[in-house]
């Protein structure tokens, strides 16, 4: 199979920007957050399972997951977080495998975007290399506040629930800094792309 790159980074680090550039360059990009959002949309299997497990009060009026309410629950209740993960992770993993199987044959490598890669260890057995998108922590907070309208304290709480920046970097095979402008980011990602083009194919499960 084509080489698989696991892409991760803290909230607001710029994972989507890096993934979008890699996709433009020809990589087959599979975003686990995007899959999770699709699975928990109105009428979808994830949303239905959450309604059955947690109650209709965790669904919005249209039947989609009430993300704000669920986020508040899992931050305050560790067993509830485990229940949610037990519901959604197998569904997400099945969809990742389906998308990998359906990836264009011309794609030189695949990228699986996994925000909690280090925390969960998920997909590590598939990945040849771990790519970490990194930036200053205050910049992370500012970006998330701008895009999500969350209070800075709420963003820092999310960051505190993730592994530390140092721990994430310790697991990295490759690092892209995303503190500068878009042309600089693109140049760094293009350099990585050229490196990934040289990775040979190997059997599934080998690095």
pLDDT bucket at 204, cuts 50 / 70 / 90 = very low
The helix or strand, by DSSP H or E, that contains position 177, with its residue range, turns out to be strand 174-177
| Residue 77: φ, ψ to 5° | -140, 100
pTM of the model: 0.89
The reported pLDDT for the residue numbered 202 is 60
Sequence spans of domains, the chain: 1-27+107-207, 35-106
Q: What is the pLDDT of residues 75-120, one digit of tens each?
A: 889 899 999 999 999 999 999 999 998 988 889 999 999 999 998 8
The strand pair at 28-31 and 129-134 is best described as unpaired
pLDDT bucket at 9, cuts 50 / 70 / 90 = very high
Query: Six-digit token pair at 126?
Result: 């598939």
Beta-carbon contacts of 176 under 8 Å, excluding residues fewer than 6 positions away, are 18, 131, 132, 133, 134, 185, 188, 189, 192
Q: What is the pLDDT of residues 118-176, one digit of tens each?
A: 988 889 888 999 999 999 999 999 999 999 888 999 899 889 988 999 999 999 999 99
Measured CA to CA, the distance from residue 198 to residue 59 in angstroms comes to: 46
The reported pLDDT for the residue numbered 106 is 87
Domain 1-27+107-207 has CATH 3.40.50.300: yes
The helix or strand, by DSSP H or E, that contains position 169, with its residue range, turns out to be helix 165-170
Question: Where would I find the H helices in 55-151?
Answer: 67-76, 78-101, 117-120, 137-148
Q: What is the pLDDT of residues 26-73, one digit of tens each?
A: 999 999 999 999 999 999 999 999 999 999 999 999 999 999 899 899
The CA distances from residue 147 to 114, 140, 142, 144, 155, in Å, are 20, 11, 9, 5, 11
Averaged pLDDT for residues 15-23: 97
The reported pLDDT for the residue numbered 196 is 96
The larger pLDDT score, comparing residue 177 to residue 161, is at 177
């Amino acid at each position: 199979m084509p080489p698989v790159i696991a892409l991760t980074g803290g909230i607001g680090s710029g994972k989507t920007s890096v993934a979008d550039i890699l996709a433009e360059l020809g990589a087959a990009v599979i975003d686990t957050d995007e899959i999770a959002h699709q699975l928990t949309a109105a009428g979808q299997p994830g949303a239905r399972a959450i309604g059955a497990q947690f109650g209709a009060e965790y669904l919005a009026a249209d039947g989609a997951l009430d993300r704000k309410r669920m986020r508040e629950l899992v931050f305050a209740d560790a067993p509830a977080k485990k229940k949610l993960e037990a519901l959604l992770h197998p569904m997400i993993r099945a969809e990742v495998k389906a998308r990998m199987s359906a990836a264009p044959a011309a794609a030189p490598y695949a990228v699986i975007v996994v925000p909690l890669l280090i925390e969960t260890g998920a997909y590590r057995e598939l990945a040849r290399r771990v790519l970490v998108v990194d930036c200053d922590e205050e910049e992370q907070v500012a970006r998330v506040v701008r895009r999500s309208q969350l209070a800075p304290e709420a963003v820092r709480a999310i960051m505190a629930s993730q592994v530390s920046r140092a721990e994430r970097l310790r697991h990295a095979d490759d690092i892209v800094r995303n503190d500068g402008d878009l042309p600089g980011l693109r140049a760094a990602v293009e350099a990585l792309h050229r490196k990934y083009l040289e990775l040979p194919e190997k059997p599934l499960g080998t690095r």
